[in-house]
Structure 1
Amino acid sequence: MTVLRSRRVFLPDGVRPASVEFHDGRITAVGAYETDGVDLGSSALLPGLVDSHVHVNEPGRTEWEGFASATRAAAAGGVTTIVDMPLNSIPPTVDVEALEVKRKAASGQCHVDVGFWGGAVPGNASSLPALHEAGVFGFKSFLIDSGVEEFPPLDAAGLETAMRTVDALFIVHAEDPSLVGESSPLYPDFVASRPPAAEARAVETVIELARRTGARAHILHLAAADALPALAAAQRDGVRITAETCPHYLTLRAEDVPSLATEYKCCPPIRGGEHQDALWQALTDGVITCVVSDHSPCTADLKAGDFATAWGGIASVQLGLPAVWTEAHRRDIPLEDVVRWMSAAPADLVGLPYKGRIEVGADADLVAFAPDEPFTVDAARLHHRNPVTPYHGRTLRGVVRQTWLRGRPVDGVTPAGRLLERKKK
């Protein structure tokens, strides 16, 4: 039995001094601060974060990222559970055989617990029920080109077919291709080529499909304020639709991006300050429920060049908590809200009730976090495979002191993560 205590323990019913006892990987008691145990001093005790949007890329593009490096970075950032996207690995996770290839690649390498998304692509609707039964947490699809040829997009009819084939969570990259144009090498032109209207129209398409089929849908990496009114109205109407956003949309602004700084390239693009303000308000209002990384790294050479040719993806799984907390603190938003958006909310999204919370019976996934301590990001010292990030050189607020996975301190050397499956009904 181990006991940790802190003056600031982030519990489901609030933040207070407390002790947390755990044994055999599970929390067994939450008691008074005065209970004998390891005192964390000035550090707060948080639940382990859950990042439901991570591109590990192994196998097939392991030079971009891999399970060992991605999960080591996750743990260093206070993330104890990730759910891996069905692309950009080869093969993509679009059938049971590909899922088994992915699980074999991950086995014995993971420093945090790892689950898997399946993919819905043209022609694989008949494979979805078996893939869901095999334990994926739901199905990702694109309404626009994904960037890799082995994971093509669905049109609205294809997504509706998938939604009617299996009772599952469908997570959607929502940009309407008819409203997306070609980009020049410069950032302002790249942003203009993927306008807010492209997100708004695609979100409306997903809403209509969810309304018509009764399926459960989730909008990935929302960046555009224009999509929020329809999303809020659909939720009020009882449509089963939720949404997430990402640290880069909450902390970086288009007006601050240098014209050729391709480390900032992602899709949808980082937009202007008015969109950022609206995203924060939507989180506060509960229209957006989760903040997850969309960690999507690649090799440095693919990230070089200009905005017309560079790979679109941001590496941030290690930095999400301090990045979001830095901006939240500036906006007088409490850390308690940030923790909920990054732990319990994504755990609930994917159906992991024993993750992302400090309560009796939950996994003892815990984080000692010094919320008032600043640090400057050095890309070379981050744990993801390739040292490219738009946060390099930025001073952020909050340092992860230690991460525990099911009660065991994560040392970054000995992998102790488990492969998770969706809980069957």
Structure 2
Amino acid sequence: MLPIHAAVVVAGGGAAGFMAAICAAEAGLGDIALLEATNEPLNKVLISGGGRCNVTHACWDPRALVGHYPRGGQALRGPFSRFAPGDAVAWFADHGLELVEEPDGRLFPRSNRAESVAATLRRAALQAGVQLHTGVSLQRAAAAAGGFDLLVRGGGAIRADRLVLATGSHPSGRQLAAALGHGLVAPVPSLFTLALAGDPLLELAGVVMDPVELALHLPQEPQAARAGQPFRQRGPVLITHWGLSGPATLRLTAFAARALKASGYRGELRLDWSGGLSQQDLEGLFAEAKRDQAKRQLANWRPWPALSRRLWLALLQRHGLDPQQRWADLAKRHQQLLVSALRDTRLAITGRGPFGEEFVTAGGIPLGEVNLATMESRQQPGLYLVGELLDVDGVTGGFNFQHCWSSGWLAGQALAESYLI
């Protein structure tokens, strides 16, 4: 049964909502109602990271951590100074869940199962006395003397002293915030793959190259492209059946999300398959191959070992070279063509790929409208805003969840302090 009155109502049973409710309850605040519109709370936790849940990232210094957030940036340095990835690791350990760091810095539960993370949060909420209500969505919220009058789906009414909106990127949360006096930074997709014109790399689907340097050139060079300077990233790239994916591509689209939207997701992508080797460096590798591997066929020896054989053969074919030709017979003009292709392959972007990797949206409530020390609204006292509802988004690797843990923890602490004083 829904309560008629609650000290705190948290709307949204995702990562940030659970963290806010648990931390407020553990800090001594009772009578907390957590509302989840679906019948499956923590759904994004359960499906993230391929069902493993990348809980956070081993980036311990807040000054470095903020660099992984295309939106939010330096504004998050204060919140992360109070609750950073190390604090998240300790919090989960205190609640019975051990996180394990992978070589790339991502942190997963030792069980390698997202259900372990969800179960930890559900258990902590239950033990702290949080009342979870599933299949209940908040439809309207109006400020009233000393609190909020809330209406839920089906006509139920709740009087809340404090209200936390943790509705993620769902439009309903933005509408509720707007009704309570907040503005909105228009949402756009972030963290997505890129589709390419004519499937120029179709035969190479499945190839991974690391590192690759990417440079994105947009037709009108929107202001977000820093006065004509292209967006750049360096790291692993995955060639797919429709275009490009992989960490470097996802980071590129995250930082260029608004500029790509403004350009209609059209532009030119330039790839340096060598990862930043100079022309002189590559010419030196070719000279070594011609000298030391003179009798080998081009197909059987690549300029450097990490260069994908499939990519190398495709470049040979694209430039009309016989893979069975000996290295000793490689003409200077053909070498120059190959060096140029390895350092500067140019591909036309036709749009986004068929799905977003982590379902992330750029946009939401402007950070200037929120006291980031407490996550309380500057527009409406007693209202707290956490998680993806805010104009904050991180790149792939556990950074979006870290913002949820940090903002939820700060809101929970502030709720308890304000109510118990």
Q: TM-score range by the shorter chain?
A: under 0.3
Which structure shows the higher strand fraction? 2
Which structure shows the higher helix fraction? 2
Q: Give the structure, 1 or 2, with the largest relative contact order (CA under 8 Å, sep 6 or more).
A: 2
Taking structure 2 as the reference length, the TM-score comes to 0.23
State the structure with more CA Rg.
2
